[in-house]
């Protein structure tokens, strides 16, 4: 490892980014023959090792090369290494590594697996490139690349209609966000003339001094720029009302979902907000907090009644992203990033475990020839007896998600909820709604994840009598080990020595952010207690409802609202998709009838004219020429019979001619 200490952090980080790209190129070139995915696996492993080697608390370094020049404006490509980017880089590669290993078992035997490895490497490359970009333009390019790679992965089983629809939906909704990002970029460039992240967003950088610019744009533009950037983050990080793509993105392979939901893709939005944070003014921050709270609340509410195991987790992700966005909104972007980090690990683990369960259920379905949805938790139950390790690992992740003490989620979620409370206290009035909603959401989180665990792993197996025909096995070791690895990161010990106080966590310590509001010590005890007791209570209710079956769940309007995901998809179908289709149909009609009609008319006129000219050409011009020809031919034909070979007629002609000549001479 001696040579490693000699290479600069920049080239090291460059390697981290480029290795998955090389793997992508290799998979793309070799194609069908590269089915093992070993190249991608090695690449991401090396990336993970290098990023861990680089990890944490170096002095910020930046390196740029000029990319191109327009007039005297210079554009750069570069790498920026500071605590934020290092954290994200390590997070992405460390989460991606177990997903790669897991995929080897999960995707085994899929006919398109060579494509899978290719897309996965591209996805990792795009995300790693995004987090270390030193300027916003480069970040934007990788941002688009992440969107594109996710499009490919969600639609991995593109022969399935729903998958094709889902990736289209994800892509289109992300385009809306991309537009926002682009507008933000334009405003920032118009104002500051640079894309460099350090120059713009460093402490006391350009963004903080918007009005001290020469020829400064008005303050409205500052708000617009903030909203534009937030729009981009909303689409990527699945914030209400642009979250609808994320539950549908479940159509991709589960390993992909876990990656999308954990470290890549959805993390990009929060990361972007944390990066451009100094640009966001009071108004924008308030909007962000409102949207984040709404998202957290609605998504958690929708998650309560879903039956698809992956859908529950998807809404859970949206809800947790809402927490992070609230964190940004209140100015505690370090807490948001902290929650992003802890969430990445436990959500990834949840998905991988869910994938293992689905894998077994699908297998069971295949063996017994029963007809049921292998992702529906109503058909599961009692699986802890058959897959104890998976159950244990998923249980740990669920505790982390619910924010139970001793887990990482406890630290980060408390950091967010307590900070929000303190912020609300500082603001007073209606602002108290935010922390109260967040606490309610936390309890709902405990309930839906408890419901998932209880329905999946406890109680009785729905097809217990079919167990003779086929067994349900524990997931294979290739799947268990990565999950165990992730479970390690769900524990408090990785992030802080002290399981109670998030302030001692190294993540928050090193960001060393000063909040705009005061710390309230009593809350640091009160809120964790409320949350923990509440969670326990929720689990007890869940146990009564789903295992003891003391009471039937009533399917009232609220239930249906939640079950149908707030009718948002239907709403969009009615308000946006239908008019769009109508417009498209009208445009189609307009194009067909008016535009094409005009063109057709023109062409018809042209054809008629051409026919006229053809007639003139055929009968007049050619006629004249042919007439000459005919005359020549007729004359020739007439004179032809003179040459009949009879000497006597020759003589007779000769004589006649002489006679005629004579008569001519005589007469004239």
Partner 1 sequence: MITLTHCLVVSACIFCIGLYAVLAKRNAIMVLVGIELMINAAILNFVAFGKYDESNYGGQIFALFAIVLAAAAVAVGLAIILNVYRKNKTINLDDITDLRD
Cβ atoms within 10 Å, residue 617: 12
Residue 629 CB, shortest distance to partner 1, in Å, is 20
Q: In this complex, which beta carbon is closest to partner 1, that of residue 71 or of residue 645? A: 645
Residues with Cβ within 8 Å of 422's Cβ and at least 6 positions away in sequence, in order, are 515, 517, 518, 519, 520, 523
Q: Is 637 in the site for partner 1 (CB under 8 A)?
A: no
Q: Pick the piece of the chain touching partner 1 (CB under 8 A) from 297-305, 327-335, 449-457, 637-645.
A: 637-645
Q: Is 433 in the site for partner 1 (CB under 8 A)?
A: no
List the structure tokens of 78: 């570069």
Cβ atoms within 10 Å, residue 544: 12
Q: In this complex, which beta carbon is closest to partner 1, that of residue 609 or of residue 651? A: 651
CA distance 129 to 19: 11
Q: Which of 601, 644, 657, 660 binds partner 1 (CB under 8 A)?
A: 644
Q: Pick the piece of the chain touching partner 1 (CB under 8 A) from 319-327, 449-457, 472-480, 640-648.
A: 640-648
Q: Is 658 in the site for partner 1 (CB under 8 A)?
A: no
Q: Which of 2, 643, 665, 667 binds partner 1 (CB under 8 A)?
A: 643
Q: Which of 31, 193, 634, 652 binds partner 1 (CB under 8 A)?
A: 652
Q: Is 31 in the site for partner 1 (CB under 8 A)?
A: no
Residue 659 CB, shortest distance to partner 1, in Å, is 10
Place of tokens 């969430």: 343
Q: In this complex, which beta carbon is closest to partner 1, that of residue 571 or of residue 655? A: 655
Q: Is 646 in the site for partner 1 (CB under 8 A)?
A: yes
Q: Is 585 in the site for partner 1 (CB under 8 A)?
A: no
Per the CB < 8 A criterion, the answer to whether 351 and 282 are in contact is no
- What is the contact mask toward partner 1 in residues 525 to 564, using x (rule: CB under 8 A)? ----------------------------------------
Q: Is 663 in the site for partner 1 (CB under 8 A)?
A: no
List the structure tokens of 526: 């009160």
Q: Is 666 in the site for partner 1 (CB under 8 A)?
A: no
What is residue 277's DSSP assignment? Answer: G
CA distance 517 to 515: 5
Q: In this complex, which beta carbon is closest to partner 1, that of residue 544 or of residue 644? A: 644
Cβ atoms within 10 Å, residue 8: 10
Q: Is 635 in the site for partner 1 (CB under 8 A)?
A: no
Q: Is 514 in the site for partner 1 (CB under 8 A)?
A: no
Q: Is 651 in the site for partner 1 (CB under 8 A)?
A: yes
Q: Is 662 in the site for partner 1 (CB under 8 A)?
A: no
- 10 Å CB burial of residue 641 (0-12, 13-18, 19+) is exposed
SS3 549: coil
Q: Which of 584, 655, 657, 663 binds partner 1 (CB under 8 A)?
A: 655
Q: Is 647 in the site for partner 1 (CB under 8 A)?
A: yes
Q: Is 650 in the site for partner 1 (CB under 8 A)?
A: yes
List the structure tokens of 46: 């090396």
Per the CB < 8 A criterion, the answer to whether 27 and 114 are in contact is yes
Q: Which helix (H) or strand (E) holds 40?
A: helix 38-54
Per the CB < 8 A criterion, the answer to whether 502 and 412 are in contact is yes
Residue 660 CB, shortest distance to partner 1, in Å, is 15
- 10 Å CB burial of residue 636 (0-12, 13-18, 19+) is exposed
Q: Is 467 in the site for partner 1 (CB under 8 A)?
A: no
- What is the contact mask toward partner 1 in residues 587 to 626, using x (rule: CB under 8 A)? ----------------------------------------
List the structure tokens of 464: 């217990």
Q: Pick the piece of the chain touching partner 1 (CB under 8 A) from 54-62, 142-150, 346-354, 643-651.
A: 643-651
Cβ atoms within 10 Å, residue 183: 17
Residue 646 CB, shortest distance to partner 1, in Å, is 6
CA distance 15 to 13: 5
Residue 654 CB, shortest distance to partner 1, in Å, is 10
Q: Pick the piece of the chain touching partner 1 (CB under 8 A) from 407-415, 451-459, 518-526, 648-656.
A: 648-656
Q: Is 660 in the site for partner 1 (CB under 8 A)?
A: no
Q: Is 648 in the site for partner 1 (CB under 8 A)?
A: yes
Residues in contact with partner 1, counted by CB under 8 A, come to a total of 11
CA distance 159 to 142: 27
Q: Is 633 in the site for partner 1 (CB under 8 A)?
A: no
Cross-strand pairs, 221:
none
Cβ atoms within 10 Å, residue 458: 18
Q: Which of 640, 657, 660, 663 binds partner 1 (CB under 8 A)?
A: 640
What is residue 58's DSSP assignment? Answer: P
Residue 640 CB, shortest distance to partner 1, in Å, is 7
Q: In this complex, which beta carbon is closest to partner 1, that of residue 639 or of residue 668? A: 639
Residue 641 CB, shortest distance to partner 1, in Å, is 10
Dihedral, 128, 47, 509, 320 alpha carbons, nearest 10: 50
Q: Is 645 in the site for partner 1 (CB under 8 A)?
A: yes
Residue 633 CB, shortest distance to partner 1, in Å, is 15
CA distance 653 to 655: 5
- 10 Å CB burial of residue 57 (0-12, 13-18, 19+) is exposed
Long-range contacts of range 66-74, CB-CB < 8 Å, 24 or more positions apart? 73/193
- Cis omega (within 30 of 0) for bond into 241: yes
Residue 648 CB, shortest distance to partner 1, in Å, is 5
List the structure tokens of 6: 């000699």
Residue 606 CB, shortest distance to partner 1, in Å, is 50
Q: Pick the piece of the chain touching partner 1 (CB under 8 A) from 188-196, 343-351, 437-445, 636-644.
A: 636-644
Residue 655 CB, shortest distance to partner 1, in Å, is 7
Q: Is 661 in the site for partner 1 (CB under 8 A)?
A: no
The runs of H, that is alpha helices, within 515-621 are: 523-542, 557-563, 568-572, 578-590, 596-615
Q: Residues 572-608, buried b or exposed e (16+ Cβ, 10 A)? A: eeeeeeeeeeeeeeeeeeeeeeeeeeeeeeeeeeeee
Q: Pick the piece of the chain touching partner 1 (CB under 8 A) from 40-48, 313-321, 427-435, 645-653.
A: 645-653
Q: Is 471 in the site for partner 1 (CB under 8 A)?
A: no
Residue 599 CB, shortest distance to partner 1, in Å, is 59
Classify residue 56 as left (phi > 0), alpha (psi -120 to 50) or beta: left
Note the residues at the interface with partner 1 (CB under 8 A): 640, 643-648, 650-652, 655
């Amino acid at each position: 490892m001696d040579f490693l200490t000699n290479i600069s952090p920049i080239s090291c980080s460059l390697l981290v980014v480029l290795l998955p790209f090389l793997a992508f190129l290799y998979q793309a070139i070799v194609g069908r023959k590269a089915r093992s995915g070993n190249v991608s696996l090695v690449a991401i492993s090396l990336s993970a090792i290098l990023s861990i080697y680089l990890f944490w608390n170096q002095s910020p370094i930046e390196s740029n090369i000029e990319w191109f020049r327009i007039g005297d404006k210079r554009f750069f490509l570069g790498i920026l290494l500071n605590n934020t980017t290092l954290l994200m880089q390590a997070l992405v590669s460390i989460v991606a590594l177990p997903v790669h290993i897991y995929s080897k078992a999960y995707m085994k035997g899929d006919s398109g697996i060579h494509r899978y490895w290719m897309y996965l490497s591209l996805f990792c490359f795009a995300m790693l490139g995004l987090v270390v970009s030193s300027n916003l333009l480069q970040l934007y390019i990788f941002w688009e690349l992440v969107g594109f790679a996710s499009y490919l992965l969600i639609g991995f089983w593109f022969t399935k209609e729903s998958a094709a629809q889902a990736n289209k939906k994800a892509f289109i909704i992300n385009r809306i966000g991309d537009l926002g990002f682009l507008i933000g970029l334009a405003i920032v460039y118009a104002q500051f003339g640079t894309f460099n992240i350090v120059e713009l967003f460093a402490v006391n950088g350009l963004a903080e001094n918007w009005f001290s610019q020469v020829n400064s744009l008005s303050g409205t533009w500052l708000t617009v720029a903030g909203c534009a950037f937030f729009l981009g983050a909303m689409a990527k990080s699945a914030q209400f009302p642009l979250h609808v793509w994320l539950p549908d993105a479940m159509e991709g392979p589960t390993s992909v979902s876990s990656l999308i939901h954990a470290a890549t893709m959805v993390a990009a939005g929060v990361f972007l907000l944390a990066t451009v944070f100094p640009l966001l003014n009071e108004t924008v921050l308030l909007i962000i907090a409102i949207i984040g709270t709404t998202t957290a609340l609605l998504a958690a509410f929708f998650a309560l009644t879903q039956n698809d195991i992956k859908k529950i987790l998807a809404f859970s992700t949206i809800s947790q992203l809402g927490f992070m966005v609230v964190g940004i909104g209140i100015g505690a972007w370090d807490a948001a990033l902290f929650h992003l980090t802890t969430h990445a690990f436990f959500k990834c683990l949840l998905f991988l475990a869910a994938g293992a369960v689905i894998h077994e259920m699908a297998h069971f379905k295949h063996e017994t020839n029963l007809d049921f949805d292998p992702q529906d938790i109503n058909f599961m139950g009692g699986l802890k007896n058959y897959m104890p390790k998976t159950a244990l690992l998923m249980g740990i992740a669920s505790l982390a998600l619910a924010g139970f003490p001793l887990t990482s989620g406890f630290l980060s979620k408390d950091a967010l909820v307590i900070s929000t409370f303190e912020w609300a206290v500082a603001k007073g009035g209606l602002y108290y709604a935010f922390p109260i909603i967040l606490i309610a959401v936390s309890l709902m989180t405990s309930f839906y994840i408890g419901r998932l665990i209880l329905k999946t792993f406890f109680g009785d197996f729905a097809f217990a009598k079919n167990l003779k025909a086929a067994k349900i096995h524990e997931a294979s070791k290739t799947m268990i080990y990565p999950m165990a690895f992730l479970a390690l990161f769900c524990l408090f010990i990785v992030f802080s020595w002290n399981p109670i106080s998030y302030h001692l966590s190294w993540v928050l310590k090193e960001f060393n952010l000063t909040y705009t509001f005061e710390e309230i010590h009593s809350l640091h005890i009160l809120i964790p207690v409320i949350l923990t007791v509440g969670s326990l209570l929720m689990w007890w209710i869940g146990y009564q409802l789903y295992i003891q079956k003391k009471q039937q769940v009533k399917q009232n309007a609220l239930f249906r609202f939640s079950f149908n995901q707030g009718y948002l998809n239907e709403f969009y179908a009615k308000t946006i998709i239908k008019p769009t289709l109508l417009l498209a149909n009208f445009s189609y009609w307009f194009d067909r009838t008016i535009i094409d009609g005009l063109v057709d008319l023109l062409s018809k006129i042209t054809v008629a004219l051409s026919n006229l000219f053809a007639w003139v050409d055929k009968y007049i011009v050619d006629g004249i020429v042919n007439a000459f020809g005919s005359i020549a031919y007729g004359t020739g034909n007439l004179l032809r019979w003179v040459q009949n070979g009879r000497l006597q007629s020759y003589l007779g002609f000769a004589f006649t001619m002489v006679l005629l000549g004579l008569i001519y001479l005589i007469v004239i």
